[in-house]
Structures are given as C-alpha cells and as structure tokens.
Structure 1
Amino acid sequence: MAKVMGFLIDISLRWRWGTVFIALLVVASGVYSLNRLQVELLPDIDFPIVTVVTAYPGSNAEQVLSDVTDPIETLISDFAGIRTLQSTSSPGLSLIIAEFEFGEDMANVESLLTDTLSGIKFVDLVQQPNVTRVNPDEIPILQVSILKQSGLKDLVPLIEGEILPALRLVNGVVSAEVPIKALAGTSLTRTNGQPSLSVNVLKHADSNTVEVVDAAMSQLDILKTKLPQDLEIVIVSNQAPEIKGSIESLQREALLGGLFAMGVIFLLLVSVRSTVVAAVSIPLSVMIAFVLMNWQNMSLNVMTLGGLAIAVGRVVDDSIVVLENIYRHIKMSKGTETSIVSALKGTKEVSGAILSATLTTAAVFLPLAFIGGIIGAFFLPFALTVTFALIASLLVSLTIVPVLGSFLIRTGSSSERLERWLNRLYGPPLKWALQHRLATLVIAALLFLGTLGLFPYIPQSFLPGGGESLLSVEVMLNRPMPIDKMVSSGGPVAQIETVLGGLRQTGKVEIFRVTAGGSDVAFDRLDTATGGLISVFLRLTEGTDAREVADFLRSELKGQDRTVMVETVQTNGPPSAGLELTVTGNDYAKVSGFAEAVILAIQDVEGLVNVKGNIAISEQFGRYLIYRYNGNESVRITGSITSEDTQLVNTMVNQEIDRLGLPEGVTLGTGGVAQDIQEAFIKMGIAMLASVVLVYLAMLITLRSFISPLVIVFSLPLASIGALAALFITQRTLGLPALIGMLMLIGLVVTNAIVLIAFVEQLRQRGYKLYEALIEGGKLRVRPILMTALTTIFALIPLAVVTDQQATIIGAELAIVVIGGLITSTFLTLVVIPVVYSLLRQDRS
C-alpha cells in the first residue's frame, strides 16, 4: 500500500498540470452525475410486508375465520423468513398482514404467495385472494380535492373526462384515480367545508418525485383555464415542497459548514493561499461522491445529502494534515529545495497516517450493512455516502493537494507566531501529564464515569420529533350511522367542521378535508372502514405548533358518542412516537378482559394520548371482528406519545402493567416505539463493538504494530464524555441519530490519535528518546490536530443550531453528539494518549 501511495504522489507531482486537468474532469463528471440523480425525500426501501385480502360475500366473521383466514395463515406460516402474522376476519372480508425479515426478496415472496394461494380450493362464494406488497411508491405524491358549487353530480364527468386523462399523460405518472369508495358512494368527502372529490396521483418507481409533481402542477394550472370557473382545485398534499425544503436546508447547512471550516483553516494557517488549497478538497471530494452515488444508482435524499453535510468537515482533514506538513517542510528547507520536493517529502511522510485515519473512519460504517432492519435500511445510504466522500478525500489529499501546495504554499511570520503560541500553551500541560501519569489517568477515568451518570437525565426516543405540519384525526362513532345523517345539519361532520373552520379563520389551519364513512387515501384501512368512521386530514400553516393544535382538537372534538384519535403525520421518516401493545392468548374473554384493564390503567399516563384497543364486541352484533396475532386471539392496544422522552413514557406504562399482573394463558408483547428503541440500542451497541474491532484491525494493518493501535483505542472513551455531556446540556434526545453520531465518533476521534502516534513513531525511528519524541511530536502535531477537529466541529455547527425542522433524521442530535465528543476527545487526546503510550512503550536500547 505504501508503494501504491508513493507512486500516486510521485506521478501527481511529476505531471502537475495533468493532475489539475484530471481534477477538472472529475468536477465535470460530478456535475453530470448530480443531474442524473433522482431527487426523493427518503431512500428507496423495500418494506418486508405483504397483505392478503379475500372477499367472502354473505359470511359472518366466524365463517371468514374458519373458511378463509385459517387456511391462508397456515400456508403463509410455512414461508421462509416470516416474522409476524396478523389477521382481521370481518363479515364478508379477510385481511392478513404478513411481515417478513428485512432482506427478503419481496417481489419473489409476492409472486410465490400468489401462485400458492391460487391452488387452494375454498368454499363456494370465496373470491380469489388479492396479494399486494406495502410499497412506498403506492403513497400518492400529490393529492388534490376538486370542488364545484353546482355539486358532485356535475363534478364526476369533469374529473373522469378532463382531469384524470390530463394527469395520466404527465411523464412519470403511473396512475391518477378517484378513491373507489367515493365513486361507489360508500364515503363522502368535504374539503374546507364544501363537498369535494379527491384525486390521488402516483408515480413510477424510477421517476423523480419533484419533476413529476412539478409537471402535474403545471398540467393542473393549464386545466384551470379550460374548466368551469366555479370549479376549484385545492392542493391537499404535495411531496415536492417538503423534498425541496429538506434538500435546500441540508445544502445550506453543508455550504455554511464548509465556509466555517475554511474560516478555521485560515485562522490557524494565517494564509489565504493555504486556505484555498484546503478549500479545493471539499468540492472535489463531493463531486467524486456524486460520481460514485450515480454509479450505485442512489438517489439524492435527506439521508444521502445529510451524509454529505456531515462529511464536509471530515473530508478536509486529510488535506489539512498534508498541507500543514508540506508547509513545515518548506519552512525547514529554508529555500535549499524546490517546493515540489518539499511537497513530495511532506505528503509521503504523512501518507500512512492519513490512510490509516481514513480507513478507520470508513470502517465504522461497515457494520451498518449487516445489522439489517429499519436501521440498516434507512442509514445504509447515509453510511455509503460518507464512505464515498472519505475515499474521495484520501485521493484528493494525495494528488491535487500536494500539486496545488507546490504552486501556492509560502511560509509567513504570522503562521510561525501562531505555532509558537500554541506550543507555549500546550507544552506545560503535556509535560505535567507525562510527569504525573497516574493522576492524569485518574482524572480522565473520573470524567468518564461521571458522565455515565448522566444517562437517566437524557431523554430517549427512537427518532426525534418536531417540524410536523400535518395532522390526522379519526373520529369513531359508538354506533354506525348513515353517511347522509353524518353530514346533515347538526350531525357529527358539521360539528367537526365548525371546530376546524374556526382554526382556519384564526390562521392556524391552511386546509382541512373530512371524509365520512372511511378515509380518502389511496389505500383505505379495510378493518375500520365502517359507517361510524370519520377521517380528517389537516395541513397547518407554517409556524403553527402541531402539538398545540392536536391537544386543542382532542379537547374540542371529544364526546360521549365517539372515540377521537389525533396524531401528527411524520413524513420525513418512520413513525417515532407510537405505543403498541399486543395481548394474545387462546381464550378471547381473558385476552379482551386483560386488554380493557390495561387500557384503563395506562390512559392517564402523562405524555400518552389516544389510547385504544381493537376490542370488537357489541351487544347488538356480538363479535363482529376477529383479530389474531401469529395464530392466537389478540387485542392490539395503541397510543400516541406526545413527550420528547418516549422511553420514560414506556417505562411508566410498563410499571402500570406490572401492577396488574399477567393472567395465566395471556401474553403481552411490545411493539411500536418501545420495540424500536430496544432494537436500536441493541443493534447499534453491536455495531459499535464491531466498529471498534474493525478500527483496530485497520490500524494494525496500516501502522504495522500491535501496541500503537491499542494506545489509540484508549481515545474512544474520551469521546463519550463530551457526547453525553452535550446531550444532557442541550436536552436533545438519545435516539437513533445520536447513536449514529456515537458510531461516527469511533472513526473520527482515532484520527487525531493516529496523526500524533504515527509521527511519534517516526521520531523514535530517527533516534529520539521516548519522552523527547512525545514532547516534540506533540508540539509539531498540535496544530494539524486542532485544525482537523475544529474544522469538523465548525462544519457541524449549522446542522446542530441552524437546522431546519424538516430534516429530523440527520439533524441536531447527530451533530451535537459529534461536536461534544470531538471537543473532549481532542483536548484529552493531546494529554492522555501520550501518557498511555509512555506506559506501554519503552525506550529502545
């Protein structure tokens, strides 16, 4: 590897203008690749869920269970990779939801299941089962409501004859439809208090969401000029602005981070030329990352762009180390050698250190490719993007940086004064630490143990909330009611619209849509689509507090004749604030009885709302819905967590359940955010341990030493001091983004230690005594260490402080963890690592 890097450095400096030309070609390729990347909100994820819907006209729930649900469940349970099996048997209909392990080929599962079910002989009247996958591409990218003053009768021909055909002609649109229930008359929709029909637009999987939505909106603008004047088109849901907003926010934060990083380099090098050389590494590394992303058919989304925003501060680190060492060699030569020779010597001297640092940083993300589940699915694109940028930064630092350095770098008195000032500041603490090694280690250990005590005082969640602008409301009437009675004067729909209309008049709600008799989305919930359901969708005005409005609606819409559920709609990631408990057993009376007791016990837990269970028994109809979980009778209890500390709410819920005691023959399983948190902590803990091993192996190979990597690993606990302290001070949640930040720290903090220890080893090989090598190595490496740490810290400040609420997955929590960890690890590394090294190494005889 050393020969390969040496050859790369030699050829780059020998053909300097050729290297510059290649760099320009890379920029052009990067721009070309960027324009080819699809723009989406989230990565393309193949959710491992299939649904099987089977109609059985004229049957009751018991008949559906025995004649349809049972045989299908038995068949699916034999499939490889099956994880859970949920079913709902209702009059005339069977719904089965099968969840498989992440990584299963769901297209193959769907095809195989369809073929297998076609061979089952059901009783008469049972229709052919319909098998479908849960696919994010089936979520409408655009939802509009069409209103007409003359009424719905005249509206249907206009929609079917004019609007739908025009939208279907838009390039990238796979379908534009009116919900089936609306056309059949089994549901009725009103938008902003007026009768309306909804149109849902879906796109092809390989189409660019923003481009398709923009084209569809342009088509609607053209239609408005041709259609009757009393027809109004209201945009209810539009994915494009959110995608644009999230991406523009991350682009802005990455740009600000890059500018902050350049400011740090200028302050520490006191040279415009050197700053320009370092600055080149950022766009070049990003352009190479774009080329690699295009090669891997990745999209530009909040995860990949977030990875680039995070990497901005790190990609310049390798160039800083090379740059600073070239500067030192030019100064040492005092004009006795050319700038090309100084650049060659300076780059080769640190090439091993930056190779080791880059490989160790990239190695920490490797476990994410194997942990699977929702964590791997969402964060693997993020990890790949950061890795691409890191590999690019290594290539840039070994090629274009020494070339530009040989052209531009000059020594100056201001930089030398700063270097002397840093040495005077750092020298005494380092000498004291080496003379009081036990005291130094005890202080570091006490700081580490002290911050571990902060865990109970840091909020915990799966993903942080905030920034939601959409609300969904479900009002379930205690008794079924005809649709015409629901929407009549004084009926429940009119009552709901009075409350929503008031919110719209005060400027808190932009749009509201009420659907009586079901929901008005592309795919309706079959198990709740009864005559007693009223669904509401609200878009809030910008700046409105979604939780405040949700609390207001829970208070204003409640009544003795109904159950009200109000939830924020999280569009920028998986749901992160839901309670889910599943009570199962063979005796439904015991299961439902215990479920009722649980609901009663937990409904007053602070921070928990919308508690309900799917207990389906009525005095008039008896048991009209039969729910099963993995073949057993079940009741599913759900709720919404409004507290930032979701883990605290889960703990209080478990305490209430423990007081009840579990009846014999009844089991209780947790799902929702409680399971997500537990799974995230376990999987990320495994990933961190694996990353430490990989980091050690990478250093073992590149540094060719057993002891030096062991010394460097001691810097890892020093990072947790600042990471936990930063979360405690800011009261940000310890969740998945923060855990990813912890994982990143494993690779980032060892970089400084590698730069220091690798140079100390070189000095010892030149004949320096151990103590002298540590003192001299520390003085000569304190500036590049500070520069690499501070550039990363300042590059992350916009993400930690200025972050737009739209980007919650890659946001403040991750940045705060990395900033806090780097602050403590950098300053403690400069004193603790030399102490540990001195204890494990001895002077050569």
Structure 2
Amino acid sequence: MKLVDTSVRRPVGVFMIVAAIVALGFVSLRNLNIDLYPEIDLPIAVVSTSYEGAAPQEVEKLISRPIESAVSSIEGIESVQSQSQPGASLIVLMFNTGADLDTALLEVREKVDQVKGMLPDTAGDPNVLRFDPQQIPVMWVGLTGENATDLQTIAEDQLVPFFERQDGVASVSVEGGVGEEVQVELQLDKLIQYGLNSSSIVQAINSANQSASAGVIEKGDKELQIRIQGEYESMADIKQTLVQTPTGAVIHLEDIATIEQKVQERTSISIVNGKPSIVLSVLKKTDGNTVQVANAMYEAIEEVKDDLPEGVNLEIVFDTSNFIRMSIDSVVQNMGVGAVFSALILLLFLRSFRATLVIGISIPIAIISTFTLMYFTGETLNILTMGGLALGIGMMVDSSIVILENIVSYRQQGYSLKEAAKVGASELAPAVIASTTTTLVVFLPIVFVEGIASEMFTPLALTISFALIASLIVSVTLIPMLSSKLLTKPLQTEGKRYWFDRFLNKVNDIYRTILKGVLKYRKTTIFATLGAIALSLSLIPFIGTEFIPASDEGQIEIRVSTPTGTNLATTQEVVEQVNEKLSPFEDVIETNYISIGGGGFGGFSSNTNRADYTIQLIPKDERTQSTTEIMTEINNAVGKVPGAEIVVREMASGMGGGDPVQIQLNGPEHEVLAELSDQVVYLLQEIEGIHNPESSASEGRPEVIININRELAAQYGLSYQQVLSQVQMSFSGQIATRYRSEGNELDVKLVLPEDRRSTIEDLETLPIQTATGAMIPLNTVAELNQIQGPVNLLRQNQQRQMNVSSDIVDRDLGSIMEEVQGKLDSLNMPEGYTYTIGGQAEDMMDSFTKLTYALIFSIFLVYAVMAVQFENFLHPFVIMFSLPATVVGILVGLFITGKPLSITAFVGVIMLAGIVVNNAIVLVDYINILRRRGQERNEAILNAGPSRLRPILMTTLTTVLGMIPLSLGWGEGAEAQQPLAIVIIFGLTVSMLFTLLLIPVVYTYLDDLSRKVVGWFDKDKKVS
C-alpha cells in the first residue's frame, strides 16, 4: 500500500503529523464536556398553571381538562398526562422519539393560548416549558447562621446574583428560607363600627402607595421631569394611610388595624447535618460542563466567604461532580491496568521490549485521536464513553499485532528494516482493514435504534468506533514507521530464556492432536457443540434480566409523610423521631439534608405533611456494606416510627426509566381506581424482592366545603364572587401592595387576627358585609360541610389514572415482573378499567426488542462484509458458525458472575458479533491459502490451525485481559460497564475454543457439500 510506503520513507513527516494529532487531542480533551452519563434527549414538554385556593376537583375541571383537550390534537404526541393538586395543575406532554421539540413547543403554546381565555380569571397564566429529566442541580450549598431572615436576605441579595454570574451556571434557587412582610391585621369591631370592608381597605392602601409622572417643564435650556412622589417610605407612612368611610369621614389605617413588620408564616424548613440552614441549589446551563461548573462554584464560594457576616457559614452540602470525578478516575485506572495487561501479553509473545514498545506507543496515540473525534462530533466524556475506550484497549492492538508480527517474520527472514516494514505491513493491510470493518459494522444498527437504548449506547458505539478507526490508521502508518526505526536486529528465537516458545510448541502439539480427533469424529463434534449450547440455554431461568445495572453512588432517600393536612410543627416532631432512629448510622453518613414542607407541586404549593431526607454515605471503599444493605437496615429502623408513612429507597442518577415496577391503572372513577390500587399494592407485597410498594392514591385531604346559597345571598345584595373574595381575604390574607424598605420589597398583606381565623367556628361566624354595610355571619348565606377530598387527581390521555410503583431489592427485574404479571392477571378488573406496565420494566422490554433487531442486522452486515472480503458466499457462511457457540460463553459468564442480562450486556452481545468472527477469518483464510499452494484439505487444516494459534491467542488474550479490570467492577460507577465486559470476556474466550475446533469441522462439511453440488451440475452437463 502506498500509505505504508510513504510512512516508512518519510518518518519525519509522520512524526510531525502524530505530534499535531496529539496536540489537537489534548486540546479536545480539555474542552470535552464531562458528565456522569450521556445526555438523554427526551422530547417532553410541560404546561404548569397555578390556581390558588382551588381544590383538585376544580383544578381538574377548570384547568387540566381544557388544556388537555387543546393540546391532544398536536401531531406527534405519544401521551398526555395531567396531575391536579390543590392550587396547581401540571400537564406532561410526551412526544414520539425524534420529534422536533422546538417546533412542538410552538404548537403547544399556540393551543394553550387558544384556551387561555376560557380559564378562570383568578388562575395564573399557563407556563409552557421544555422538560429535562437530567437537569438536576450540580451542587447544593448550605448557608447557616442565627437569624433566618438575615440568611434569606444574604442568600437572595448577595449569593444568588453572584453565583448566577459564574461560568456555566443557569440559575440558583433558595429553599428553607423565611422572609418578612408588613401585616395589616384588621380589627373586625372597628370595621363594623366604620362600615368598612376589606376591599375598600385594599383600594385605599394601593391608591396611597403610588408615584406618577406628570410631564415636563422648561427651566432655561433644560427640561425638568415632573414626578409626583407618593410611595411609602416608612412604616409610619403605612400607618397614616387615609381611609374614607361610607359616611365621608376620613380615618387613618392605624385606627382600624394593627400594622407590624413580621416574619412570614414558615412553610418549609431545611436542616443540614442537624443544623437549620438555607439551601441554595445550583443548576447548570444545558450545554454546561458539570465538572467545570462545580470548579467555578468552589472558587466562588471561597471568594464570597470572606464577605459574609460573622457567625454566617457557607458549606457545600452535595456536589454531584464528586461521583463523576471518581467514576472517570476509576475508568482511567482500569484503562491503565488493562493496557499493562495487554503489554505483558505482547512482551510474553513477542519476546522483545522494543517490539512491545512499538505497540505500546500506538495505544495512547489512538486514544488521544479518539478524543479529537469525540470533540468534533459533540460527544461528552462520561463513564460509558470512557468505558468504551477501556473496552477498546485490547481491541486497539489487534490490528497492530497482526501487522507487527508479519513485519517481525520478514525481519527474521533477513529483510532489511525498511523492506520488512514496507512488505510486511503492505501484505496484511487489506486483511486488517477488512477485519476491523467487521467489528465496526456491528455498531451501525445501534445508531439507528430508537429509544433510550440508542440515546445511551450510541455514544459508546461511536467512541469504540473512533478508537478502532484511529488504531487501524496507526497500525498501517505508525507501526511500520516505528518498526523501521526500532527493530534494529532480528529477534532471536533460541536460548533458555524463550521458555514460552517451548510452552507454545507443546500447546500446538496438543491442539494438533485434538484437531485430528475432531476431524475424525465430525458428527460427535457437532452434537457435542449442540449439547453445550442446549445446556447453556437451560441456564436462562437462573440468570434473569434487568434494565441497567445500578451504580453504588452511596445516596439514600427517605420520604416521611404524616397524615394529609398535618401542620409543619407536627411533621417536624416526627422528623426528630426519625433522626433518633438514624443516630446508629452516623458513622457511615457523610451528609444528611432534610427538607420539611418543601417539594411543592409545580412550584406553587408546599406540603407541610412531608419531609424528604437526602443522605450521602461515605465513599464505597471506606465502608463494609453496600448502599442497598445500609438502605435495608435504615428501612427496618425507621419503619417503627408511629404516626407516619416512611419510604426508604436508594437513589440513582439519570439512567433509568422511573421506578423499576410501575403499574398504571386507568378507568373513569377515581374512587374505584383507588380501591384497585390498594389491591395491587397488597398483591405486590407478597412477591419476594418487592420493596416499599406504594399507590399514588393518597389519604384524603380534610376539607371544609362552603356551599353558598346564591339566591339567599342575592337577597342581601351579595354575589357569589363577593362572598368568595371576603372568605379568601379573611383566611388566606390579601396582598394590597408592596413596600420598599432598605432596598428590599416587602408585601403589605391584609389579614385577620389569628384567633379569628383558626377554627371552624371562626369560619361559620365570619362576618360578611352586605351591600348596605351590615354584617352577617357566613352561615347565614352558606352551608358548611367537612369532608375528605382527594390530594391529587391523575389523568392520562384524558382518562383518570392511578399509579402503583415499587423498588426491587436482591432480585432481578425480569423474574419479579413475571410474578407481577401473574398477580395482575388474577385481579378481577371491573368493566372499563385496564392496567398497563410502565417504568423500567417497559423500557427494558422495549430496549431488548429493538436491540434484538439491531443484533440481527449486525450479523447480516458482518456476513456481507466477509462476502465482499472473500468474494465468496460459502466461506463467510463457515465463519458465521463461530457465532452460535458464543451463546455458551455469554450465558455461562453471566451465570457464574451472578449478573442478569441487562441492556449493557446485550450491547456486549452485539459487539461480540463483530469480534468473534475475526479469529475464524484468520483461520479459514489461511486454510484457503495452504490449499491454493497444493495441500490436501485435512493437511491444510492441520497445518493452518497450529500456525494461526499464536496470533489468535495473542489478539484474544490482549482483548480479554484488557477488559479484566472492568469486569471486576473496580471503582465508582464501574457497575454500568461490568456486564458488557463479562459478556465479551467469556463470549470471546469460549468462542475462540469453538472456533479452533468447530470451524474446521464445519469447513469440511460445507466443502463436501459444495463438491456434491458441483458434481451434480457436471452430471447434468454430461447428460445434456
């Protein structure tokens, strides 16, 4: 090949090109986006709407349903889900994979705008947003100190603006803080005395707190702006607000109300490691680099610490980049160990440090070149792409080994340095290109597979492909050039120090003897192979299946739910009991962040009956138990706390499809769905491995329903809206205006005294002002009923829905879902009610189906490439018989290691389709060469087998040993690649053994068949 000739004759030019590639690679590596997993681009949009004070039923009827109907007609929508809670509606629109979400969002906004006028006047404007399930905070920062209001001011005025100016930071939100407001506490007896109502007070306050422009006047050659100053400048101004009574008298606001600047009613509490705190969560920009954003935040935190008041501390609560760094470091270490293993194998076989150095130099250059290709194709540096590089370490050297061994053989025949390099590389370059192509084409179908499997593994496939392409180019350019400079003398093969050669000769003799036997007993060999495959298939029930292997990230979530309607103080008391139960685990807990009353739905409400723990354990290598084991012990400990429903689960970051077990019940009636969901939860509890099954049907929220008698109210000159507004103001308060004080804006809020708005009796006797100014109790024009109302209402595709979900522990997802399916089939579903299975189970089945199609297509492509290479249809067919035997290694490997068949393992199976044929290609190709030289068929097989055993062993061992560190699951985040490495190690090893013995037998059978076919055609010709 001219490429080889040029590289040998112009080594300086090759050095310059290599230097440029290495420099570009380091620049690319520096600018690559680093993340934990590949970005999963799911086309999901959300429409959120607030409707303060409304019950879930009203939200569903007046907000959710109209918007659902409007957006359901948009083309490309896969499903429409809605959730209606007190005061808020959230609608999730899932589009078909590959949909253009930017165009879809425009259509959603148009449809929502069409129905906006039909929504209640008091409802907020619907917000249409792109939903990113991976957009979790990069970092949580805790701010601690004595005064909660001061901390809130520091966070909002000083920290948030400063942090949001850092590179890559999109937004910073604050949780657990408390602000101040100006409370105007109305005195009911004074209101009655002066004939005033809340509406007139709001109007008076709002009118008094206004400034306006009144034009301009001229003074000399200048124009002066006329501005009428009327805004409040002090609390005294608010107190002196003039209020006109119906009789025309003018009084001050302080005559009828108590005005004070107070702390707002607290709706959430944040506690970090036992200390009350304000927590700031930092979100990165969509294209931001997680690690770089974290580094920028570290610098910003150190810079701002000096400006904080005495007694105020700022510390990092959680940093998601830590696990990313540890995971990437682990993969890099595994790559290093794998490269060392490969180098030792090369040194053992090649018997030369210089020859090993030639191969060793090619590995880092191929890796650096891969980084360049990753950068220009927009890939991120994550544990899957880095794992792809680690998996490719062994495969990278295959092409170089074949080229180098041929160069060495010519060198031993007495060729000069340059001639041996040129002839040896040129002779095998076409074969190397063909064998690399068979490995590359197996990844092509993965790129075209749709769904989450493609989103995650296309980057892996591209990375390995880039690595193989780079290593191929290196093998036909750099390897010949380095060989012409470093292999200064022929390799010696005599002497005691080459004990390994004598060992290989003995192995060759044993292999030749066994090969004679299998050629003699061909049928026995075939049946033995079929028997081995059948026995391995019997292991399938014991292996099981799962979606994606969970990484031990050391994060545990505890959700504490007290009875619906419980106030914040009572929930906090329960949290203190849970903390006591957690005290024995302090040695393994690094950080404990508790949010009480947070987690508001859609950002519009808070749940005072809920507390969420986020626990970070100490690193995996510093504890003796796994996260799952610790989670189980914590679950047993906190489950005994009375008065609360507590769910403990292990947290995972971003590669799953929701809960492992998720059952969606659909039907017309909410009450029936709630009963069915309770039955399903009961059935799931009987299944081994199911952990904390729960229903989305929450306990009913205590409600007081006010049924206004509109005709009776009309007799008093009252409308429905007037009664409603007076009740809302009395119990929720009403913001009249905003007051600027020392650079801060405070709400001026009208409220009733707390002792007049705390009981049902206060509600019944609430004074309602009539059109004449008279006061009547609310129960005069309304009937009050106390009921249990739903907390939230779910709908999917405009039909009511209820979800049952569960985690799994110590068992594979596939076998659990078989039992779940059996339990659901035994459930007597009423007419009109159905169930579907979602979550990870649905994603697993969908991914397995699509990857199966990809595997079939990959096998076809491998055959097509070999047919082109051999210019023959028969010999590639012989080689394809190395694939069925791979099943033995795959299933035995998963069974021995106790790993279920996951989609990462399935990708390993697809990779094997392109890898295992390479050994058979080498063997069959050399058999044909010897036969063309005049050797008889069996003689050619017996000579070709032992002759090709050495390169087959070399390429197989370098690939297998290069993956050993990954297969052992060393380091953080290694669980994702472990099944893939196990499948390739066992599959390739077992396939190599079958290739060396089975392929020669199949070759003889198909050769006999071809002779018979040719003989039949010859007979036909003679007869004719």
1:330 alignment partner in structure 2: 411
Q: Report how far residue 278 of structure 1 moved.
A: 1.6
TM-score by length of 2: 0.78
Residue identity opposite 1:64 in structure 2: V
- Helix, strand or coil at the partner of 1:639: strand
How far, CA to CA, are the matches of 1:805 and 1:295 in structure 2?
28
User: Are the counterparts in 1 of residues 85 and 601 from structure 2 also a CA contact under 8 Å?
Assistant: no
How far, CA to CA, are the matches of 1:737 and 1:137 in structure 2?
20
Q: Report how far residue 130 of structure 1 moved.
A: 0.8
How far, CA to CA, are the matches of 2:2 and 2:858 in structure 1?
30
1:467 aligns with 2:633: no
1:564 alignment partner in structure 2: 646
1:3 alignment partner in structure 2: none
How far, CA to CA, are the matches of 1:572 and 1:9 in structure 2?
46
User: Are the counterparts in 1 of residues 330 and 972 from structure 2 also a CA contact under 8 Å?
Assistant: no
Out of 537, 546, 550, the residue aligned to residue 627 of structure 2 is: 546
Out of 519, 527, 535, the residue aligned to residue 434 of structure 1 is: 519
User: Are the counterparts in 1 of residues 48 and 602 from structure 2 also a CA contact under 8 Å?
Assistant: no
Q: Report how far residue 347 of structure 1 moved.
A: 2.3
1:156 aligns with 2:156: no
Out of 592, 604, 608, the residue aligned to residue 531 of structure 1 is: 608
How far, CA to CA, are the matches of 1:526 and 1:649 in structure 2?
36
Q: Aligned in 2, Cα 1:598/1:181: closer, same or farther, shift over 3 Å?
A: farther
* 189-198 or 163-172: bigger deviation: 163-172
1:514 aligns with 2:594: yes
User: Are the counterparts in 1 of residues 863 and 876 from structure 2 also a CA contact under 8 Å?
Assistant: yes
How far, CA to CA, are the matches of 2:900 and 2:872 in structure 1?
39
User: Are the counterparts in 1 of residues 548 and 902 from structure 2 also a CA contact under 8 Å?
Assistant: yes
Task: Please list the CA deviations of residues 776-833 of structure 1 after superposition, one character each: whole Å capped at 9, or x if unmatched.
Answer: 22222111111000000000011112521423322x2111111101111111101111
- Which segments of 5 or more consecutive residues in structure 2 lack a partner in the other structure? 180-263, 703-786, 1015-1024
User: Are the counterparts in 1 of residues 969 and 975 from structure 2 also a CA contact under 8 Å?
Assistant: no
1:356 aligns with 2:356: no
Out of 822, 827, 840, the residue aligned to residue 993 of structure 2 is: 827
Q: Report how far residue 303 of structure 1 moved.
A: 1.5
2:130 alignment partner in structure 1: 133
Q: Report how far residue 72 of structure 1 moved.
A: 1.6
Q: Report how far residue 248 of structure 1 moved.
A: 0.5
2:221 alignment partner in structure 1: none
* 351-360 or 159-168: bigger deviation: 159-168
How far, CA to CA, are the matches of 2:284 and 2:910 in structure 1?
36
Q: Aligned in 2, Cα 1:269/1:182: closer, same or farther, shift over 3 Å?
A: farther
1:660 aligns with 2:836: no
- Helix, strand or coil at the partner of 2:865: helix
How far, CA to CA, are the matches of 1:233 and 1:608 in structure 2?
40
Residue identity opposite 1:140 in structure 2: P
- Helix, strand or coil at the partner of 1:178: strand
- Helix, strand or coil at the partner of 1:682: helix
1:498 alignment partner in structure 2: 580
User: Are the counterparts in 1 of residues 87 and 605 from structure 2 also a CA contact under 8 Å?
Assistant: no
User: Are the counterparts in 1 of residues 557 and 612 from structure 2 also a CA contact under 8 Å?
Assistant: yes
How far, CA to CA, are the matches of 2:428 and 2:359 in structure 1?
16
Task: Please list the CA deviations of residues 130-153 of structure 1 after superposition, one character each: whole Å capped at 9, or x if unmatched.
Answer: 1112225631101012111x2312
1:386 alignment partner in structure 2: 464
Q: Report how far residue 569 of structure 1 moved.
A: 1.0
Residue identity opposite 1:537 in structure 2: T
Which one has a bigger Cα radius of gyration?
2
1:264 alignment partner in structure 2: 345
Count the aligned residue pairs: 827
1:309 aligns with 2:304: no
* 243-252 or 138-147: bigger deviation: 138-147
How far, CA to CA, are the matches of 2:175 and 2:99 in structure 1?
31
- Helix, strand or coil at the partner of 2:831: coil
User: Are the counterparts in 1 of residues 350 and 356 from structure 2 also a CA contact under 8 Å?
Assistant: yes
- Helix, strand or coil at the partner of 2:879: helix
How far, CA to CA, are the matches of 1:208 and 1:617 in structure 2?
42
- Which segments of 5 or more consecutive residues in structure 1 lack a partner in the other structure? 1-5
Which is richer in helix? 1
Q: Aligned in 2, Cα 1:691/1:529: closer, same or farther, shift over 3 Å?
A: farther
**Which aligned pairs between 1:337-736 and structure 2 lie closer than 5 A?**
337-409=415-487, 410-413=490-493, 414=498, 417=502, 420-487=505-572, 491-504=573-586, 507-519=587-599, 529-542=606-619, 543=623, 545-558=626-639, 559=641, 561-571=643-653, 573-574=655-656, 578-616=660-698, 618=700, 620-736=787-903
1:170 alignment partner in structure 2: 166
Q: Aligned in 2, Cα 1:568/1:137: closer, same or farther, shift over 3 Å?
A: closer
TM-score by length of 1: 0.93
Task: Please list the CA deviations of residues 330-356 of structure 1 after superposition, one character each: whole Å capped at 9, or x if unmatched.
Answer: 33x3x2x32333333322332232222
Out of 76, 97, 103, the residue aligned to residue 102 of structure 1 is: 97
1:192 alignment partner in structure 2: 273
Residue identity opposite 2:608 in structure 1: G
Task: Please list the CA deviations of residues 239-276 of structure 1 after superposition, one character each: whole Å capped at 9, or x if unmatched.
Answer: 22111101100000011101100111111121212211
How far, CA to CA, are the matches of 2:127 and 2:921 in structure 1?
59
Residue identity opposite 1:226 in structure 2: D
Q: Report how far residue 52 of structure 1 moved.
A: 0.9
Q: Aligned in 2, Cα 1:524/1:41: closer, same or farther, shift over 3 Å?
A: farther
User: Are the counterparts in 2 of residues 81 and 101 from structure 1 also a CA contact under 8 Å?
Assistant: yes
Q: Report how far residue 560 of structure 1 moved.
A: 5.0
User: Are the counterparts in 2 of residues 458 and 728 from structure 1 also a CA contact under 8 Å?
Assistant: yes
User: Are the counterparts in 2 of residues 465 and 644 from structure 1 also a CA contact under 8 Å?
Assistant: no
How far, CA to CA, are the matches of 1:679 and 1:404 in structure 2?
48
Q: Aligned in 2, Cα 1:43/1:249: closer, same or farther, shift over 3 Å?
A: same
How far, CA to CA, are the matches of 1:643 and 1:805 in structure 2?
20
- Helix, strand or coil at the partner of 2:283: strand
User: Are the counterparts in 1 of residues 88 and 601 from structure 2 also a CA contact under 8 Å?
Assistant: no
Q: Report how far residue 416 of structure 1 moved.
A: 5.7
Task: Please list the CA deviations of residues 337-383 of structure 1 after superposition, one character each: whole Å capped at 9, or x if unmatched.
Answer: 32333333322332232222111111111111111111100111010
Q: Report how far residue 661 of structure 1 moved.
A: 3.3
2:50 alignment partner in structure 1: 55
* 67-76 or 317-326: bigger deviation: 67-76
Task: Please list the CA deviations of residues 281-308 of structure 1 after superposition, one character each: whole Å capped at 9, or x if unmatched.
Answer: 2112112211111111222111211110
Residue identity opposite 1:483 in structure 2: L
Q: Report how far residue 525 of structure 1 moved.
A: 5.7
How far, CA to CA, are the matches of 1:181 and 1:783 in structure 2?
70
User: Are the counterparts in 2 of residues 486 and 516 from structure 1 also a CA contact under 8 Å?
Assistant: yes
User: Are the counterparts in 2 of residues 281 and 393 from structure 1 also a CA contact under 8 Å?
Assistant: yes
Residue identity opposite 1:423 in structure 2: N
TM superposition outliers: structure 1 runs of 4+ over 6 Å: none
1:25 alignment partner in structure 2: 20
1:771 alignment partner in structure 2: 938
User: Are the counterparts in 2 of residues 422 and 782 from structure 1 also a CA contact under 8 Å?
Assistant: no
Q: Name the Cα RMSD after superposition.
A: 2.3
User: Are the counterparts in 2 of residues 774 and 834 from structure 1 also a CA contact under 8 Å?
Assistant: yes
Residue identity opposite 2:444 in structure 1: L
- Helix, strand or coil at the partner of 2:884: helix
Residue identity opposite 1:454 in structure 2: L
1:816 aligns with 2:966: no
Task: Please list the CA deviations of residues 95-154 of structure 1 after superposition, one character each: whole Å capped at 9, or x if unmatched.
Answer: 111222222222332233123312323233233211112225631101012111x23122
Q: Aligned in 2, Cα 1:774/1:370: closer, same or farther, shift over 3 Å?
A: same
Q: Report how far residue 192 of structure 1 moved.
A: 2.0
